[in-house]
Amino acid sequence: MSQSIDLINLDTLAQELATIQQTGSKRIALLGSRHVPITHQNLIEMMTYALVLSGNRIITSGATGTNSAAIKGAMRADPNLLTVILPQSLERQPLESRQQLEQVMHLVENPSNDNLSLAEASYICNKEIVSRCQQLICFAFHDSRTLLQTCGDAEEQRKVVTLFYFD
């Protein structure tokens, strides 16, 4: 029994090491809280800008805060390397988000989730985003249930997860 656990841990470590050492472009999901101070949003935007300039593809959602900052950074660097997946249809997004989202080339809407609560639709959306990425970078608070659950799901899928806490 301990041998199978050791093999899983070695496989996980090997996969994470390969992803970290990969010098080519990666598919990086960037998710986080809507409630982010402007200074943190500026840092997220700059980090995303640098990731895209390095040739990485960014996958995020369309919420305000973290995701909006990621969209800004990616759009400045190379709009073609950005994919935004919405939890619901574009019409269900707040007006300030819609104006930004209308500029995104690769926008995926999920109108079939319009009848769900935003929390349920966001969780489903985050699962789709994680399924498309190699690495997840997440900005959350310790009580951000949906985001922390998404990080757990990503780890179960053996994705490299980097989690930053605001609190």
Which pLDDT belongs to residue 20?
56
- pTM for this one? 0.85
Number of domains in the chain: 1
Range of the domain at 110: 25-165
Instruction: Report the Cα–Cα distance between both ends of the chain, in Å, rounded.
Output: 39
Strands 82-85 and 27-32, by their bridges, are unpaired
CA 60 to CA 100: how far, in whole Å? 13
Average pLDDT, the chain: 89
Number of DSSP helices (H) and strands (E) in the chain, helices first = 6, 6
Residue 151 in any domain: the answer is: yes
Question: Looking at residue 79, which CATH number applies to its domain?
Answer: 3.40.50.450
Residue 15 in any domain: the answer is: no
Q: What is the pLDDT of residues 64-82, one digit of tens each?
A: 999 999 999 999 999 999 9
Phi and psi for 107 in degrees, rounded to 5?
-115, 125
Residue 114 in any domain: the answer is: yes
Residue 82 in any domain: the answer is: yes
